[in-house]
Amino acid sequence: MLRKLQYISLRKRLFIGIFLCATAVLVVHTIVAYRQFAQAIDVQASEAVSNRLRQAVNFHNLCLRQQMATQVRHYSSHPPIVRATARRDEFQLKRLLLSVAQKEGFRQLAVFAPDGEVVASTGFTQEQLDDLRHSRLLHTAQSTGSASAHLRLGNDVYAVAAAVLHQEGVHTGVLVVASPLSLNWIIRLHQMTRIDVALRVGGKWLFARKPPEQLLRWSQEKFEGVREDYQTKAISPILRISYMVLRDEKGAPLAVMAVWQNDPYIQLMQYSLAHSMLSAMTAALLLAVLIAIVQVHPVINLVRHLTTAAHIIAGGHFAHRVKVSRWAPYDFHLLAESFNLMASQLEEFALRQKQQQNELRSHNELLARLSVTDALTQVGNHRAFQEHLHAQISLSARKKQPLCLMLIDVDHFKQYNDTYGHPQGDMVLREVARLLTENTRTYDFVARYGGEEFAVILPDTDIETATAVAERVRRVIESHPFPNRQVTISIGLASWRAGMDSNTLIQEADEALYEAKRSGRNRVCLARQDKKAA
Residues annotated as catalytic are 452
Bridge partners of residue 161, in order along the sequence: 148, 177
Task: Give the CA dihedral 58, 61, 66, 67, nearest 10 degrees.
Answer: 90
Contacts with 87 (C-beta within 8 Å, 6 or more apart), sequence order: none
Buried b (16+ CB within 10 A) or exposed e, 403-423: bbbbbbbbbebeebbeeeeee
Which among 77, 148, 85, 152 has a CA at the least distance from the CA of 114?
85
Distances (CA, A) of 427 to 155, 420, 447: 124, 11, 16
C-alpha distances in Å from residue 59, one per residue of 55, 66, 94, 189: 6, 10, 31, 8
Q: What are phi and psi of 523, to 5 degrees?
A: -155, 170
- How do beta strands 524-526 and 489-495 pair? parallel
Distance of CA 429 to the CA centre of its chain: 73
Which residues, in sequence order, are CB contacts of 127 under 8 Å at separation 6+?
153, 154
Asked if 212 and 262 count as a contact pair (C-beta separation under 8 A), the reply is: yes
Q: Cα-flanking dihedrals φ and ψ of residue 233, to 5°?
A: -130, 145
d(CA 171, CA 127): 26
Write the CB contacts of 206 (distance below 8 Å, at least 6 apart in sequence): 181, 182, 183, 186, 198, 199, 200
In whole angstroms, give the CA distance from residue 453 to residue 459.
Answer: 20
Residue 63 DSSP symbol = I
The CA-atom distances, in angstroms, between 222 and each of 80, 118, 212, 260, 380 are 50, 40, 15, 15, 92
Instruction: Evaluate whether 162 touches 148 at the Cβ level (below 8 Å).
Output: yes
Q: What are the Cα distances from residue 307, in Å, to 37, 297, 316, 346?
A: 47, 15, 15, 16
Q: In angstroms, how far is the first alpha carbon of the chain from the final one?
A: 105
What are the Cα distances from residue 136, in Å, to 74, 109, 160, 269, 403? 22, 17, 12, 51, 112
Write the DSSP assignment of 1-51 as a string of letters: -HHHHHHHHHHHHHHHHHHHHHHHHHHHHHHHHHHHHHHHHHHHHHHHHHH
- Give exposure, 490-526, as e/b (b: 16+ Cβ within 10 Å): bbbbbbbeeebebeebbebbbebbebbeeeeebbbbb
